[in-house]
Amino acid sequence: MISYEEALDFIHGLNRFGTKLGLHNITKLLELLGNPHENIKIIHVAGTNGKGSTCAMIASILRSAGFKVGLYISPYLEVFNERMQVNGENISNEDLARLTEKVREKVFYMRENGLGSPTEFEVVTAIGFSYFKEQAVDFLVLEVGMGGRLDATNVVTPLVSVITPISMDHQQYLGSTLRDISREKCGIIKQGVPVVTAPQEDEAMAVIEDTCRERNCSLTKVINSSVSRSPDTISYRFVNGGIKGMTFDLYTPKTDYPGLQIGLMGRHQLDNAATAVAAVEPLGNSGVNLSREAIYKGLKGARWPGRLEIMKEKPTVLIDGAHNIAGIKTLKAVLEEYFYDRKKILVVGILEDKDYTEMLEELIPVADTVICTAPDNPRALSAARLAEAVSNIFQKSQIKVYAQEKIEDALKLASSLAADEDMVVFAGSLYMIGHVRTLLNKQH
């Protein structure tokens, strides 16, 4: 059998084939593997931001109800095995190596017989389905990789389709307008399958509503305010909260949930939490009974590392995986609401294919010092070019700008500049955040 390291080398070696959206390769690959994705109860989650948090909350609720729950996410934060979890435990190195070898044989067969050449994400998705089938999970919470319509995960017919907030991202693949991107995300909506959506911009909501009408799907909308109950909305009321979490009241077509708690920071997480509850309520139509206790316990226990996560105090170190303009605006809102009185050292690293100018224009004004670095990814923008972009945008600003190509050096510099009462914020790319999180945990 191949080793864990050989398995990862094979998987990551496939990235030279790039991103090829489409379902031909994954369909054939899964067919050769015996269609492991069939007969699994799936909650399918697409969107631009909030997918990971929403998936984590859905999985936590189902686990609290006593079910065996698979969770498929991308990308990972610190270790590859995070991408496939059962009841919060990552796939083991041994299982990953064994299943990779099994999938690799089919990939070679496809190539040799002119049947296609699966990409990295397609191979990882096939490994994931094989693992969850072996584990006989009661439910699989399945996060879309990119888009929806042509994403490798879109070979399933789920129990419910979930759309988290849609915004501009991956335009080179998904389209240049919010309407185009929304159409791609709505590709996961299947004929007659219930749909749940988080709050959306009007343009995105119109596409979701049209798609649900075309495909005869019920649509439940999360409304981020307290309104009178209606059959197709879930609404909530913020009660109180801060950096340790929040309390809110939730109103669904079926019942009220006063005093729900989540341990995650940021008002946007209330949208995600409400969406998660909205996603599990339709499961009752499939004979799945979830107690109120499971909702309360599941939301309170949900964790999602690397998103507005405080890693240490004195100085306060916060890491956030914001990597598009919508995520950056959410981070900025949290910094202005909870940390307005702190001197802030911002360590930023961004991929070259992102709209980094708009991201910088939004975030830099809240910082006193900026340290530019480069995420551990071939698509990374160099620290020097990022620093040049910051300087060009804020020519007359008093903000100090540094460039440190290596993340380790950026962390050292930030630590040396920060007093106990200051704050260090790492943001711009999940690839950077994962590296930083590993370094900080080693320090502890």
Tens-digit pLDDT profile for residues 140-194: 999 999 888 999 999 999 999 999 999 877 666 676 799 999 999 999 999 999 9
Non-local (6+) Cβ contacts of 354 within 8 A are 323, 324, 429
pLDDT of 246 above 90? yes
**Residue 17: pLDDT band by 50, 70, 90 thresholds?**
low
Write down the pLDDT at residue 354: 84
Burial environment of residue 68 by CB neighbours within 10 A (0 to 12, 13 to 18, 19 or more): middle
Mean pLDDT on 21-27: 90
Write down the pLDDT at residue 377: 84
Write down the pLDDT at residue 76: 92
Which of residues 301, 319, 353 is at a domain's end? 301
Write down the pLDDT at residue 30: 98
Distance CA 330, CA 224 (A): 15
**Residue 245: pLDDT band by 50, 70, 90 thresholds?**
very high
Number of domain units in the chain:
2
Together in a domain, 39 and 80:
yes
Together in a domain, 257 and 402:
no
Burial environment of residue 113 by CB neighbours within 10 A (0 to 12, 13 to 18, 19 or more): exposed
**Residue 355: pLDDT band by 50, 70, 90 thresholds?**
confident
Together in a domain, 283 and 336:
no
**Residue 284: pLDDT band by 50, 70, 90 thresholds?**
confident
Which of residues 231, 266, 301 is at a domain's end? 301
Residue 243 near residue 249, CB atoms below 8 Å: no
Tens-digit pLDDT profile for residues 306-341: 999 999 999 999 999 988 898 999 999 999 999 999
Partner residues linked to 402 by β-bridges: 371
Burial environment of residue 260 by CB neighbours within 10 A (0 to 12, 13 to 18, 19 or more): buried
* Sheet (strand 344-348) strand order: 309-312, 316-319, 423-427, 344-348, 369-372, 400-403
Percent of the chain's residues with pLDDT above 90? 81
Q: Which of 92, 86, 189 is nearest to 139 (CA)?
A: 86
Tens-digit pLDDT profile for residues 216-227: 999 999 987 766
Together in a domain, 127 and 244:
yes
Together in a domain, 297 and 404:
no
**Residue 277: pLDDT band by 50, 70, 90 thresholds?**
very high
Which of residues 244, 267, 301 is at a domain's end? 301
Together in a domain, 194 and 47:
yes
Together in a domain, 295 and 313:
no
Distance CA 33, CA 197 (A): 33
Q: Which of 264-268, 409-413, 423-427 has the lowest mean pLDDT?
A: 264-268
Highest mean pLDDT: which of 13-22, 61-70, 225-234?
Answer: 61-70
Range of the domain at 423: 309-443
Mean pLDDT on 49-68: 96
Residue 225 near residue 235, CB atoms below 8 Å: yes
pLDDT of 392 above 70? yes
Together in a domain, 284 and 253:
yes
Mean pLDDT on 94-121: 97
CATH of the domain at 340: 3.90.190.20
Together in a domain, 154 and 244:
yes
- Over its C-alpha atoms, the chain yields an Rg (Å, rounded) of 22
Tens-digit pLDDT profile for residues 195-208: 999 999 999 999 99
Q: What mean pLDDT value characterizes the chain? A: 93
